[in-house]
Amino acid sequence: MGRKRIILTGSEETISFGAQFTSHRILALQGDLGAGKTTFVQGLLNGLNIRDTAQSPTFTYLQIYENSLYHFDLYRLQSERDFLLLGFDEFLNAGKITVIEWPERIASLLPPDTCLIRLSHHQQNRIAEITTWGER
């Protein structure tokens, strides 16, 4: 896949950017608080024609949208073992789109072709860096 860098000038561009990833099976999102991860997921929902509003699943680990998109936030997860004990590994192989925030918590469980998107702030814009988990 190589590395790609895109400048996003606001929430609308971040939403449009997210809508482009409907063909990816597993997406790993990295970025600080406010970097645009939930906004990206809103775009992905829009691209899938799901009318729900994206929620950050921080306190529940997992948000499921119309059984078509699984959105994990693993910030509070202590280990890969916990992920496995909770049975979440089944979602990685369910054939649906799976978005994982804080993917480094389950690093060895992610396939190398997982699409990795790092979102960050730069001045008034967001920067999206795209690569694969295996190329990180």
Rounded Cα distance, 109 and 126, in Å: 28
pTM (two decimals): 0.91
Query: Does the structure show a pLDDT above 90 at 41?
Result: yes
Tell me which residue range forms the domain holding 112. Answer: 4-135
More confident residue, 2 or 26: 26
- Among residues 60, 56, 63, 102, which one has the least CA distance to residue 79? 102
If one counts the domains in the chain, the total is 1
Segment 85-125, tens digit of pLDDT: 999 999 998 999 999 999 999 999 999 999 999 999 888 89
Q: What is the CATH number of the domain that holds 116?
A: 3.40.50.300
Mean pLDDT of the chain: 92
Q: For residue 1, what pLDDT band results from cuts at 50, 70 and 90? A: low
CA distance 25 to 4: 19
Query: Which residues sit opposite 121 in a β-bridge?
Result: 126
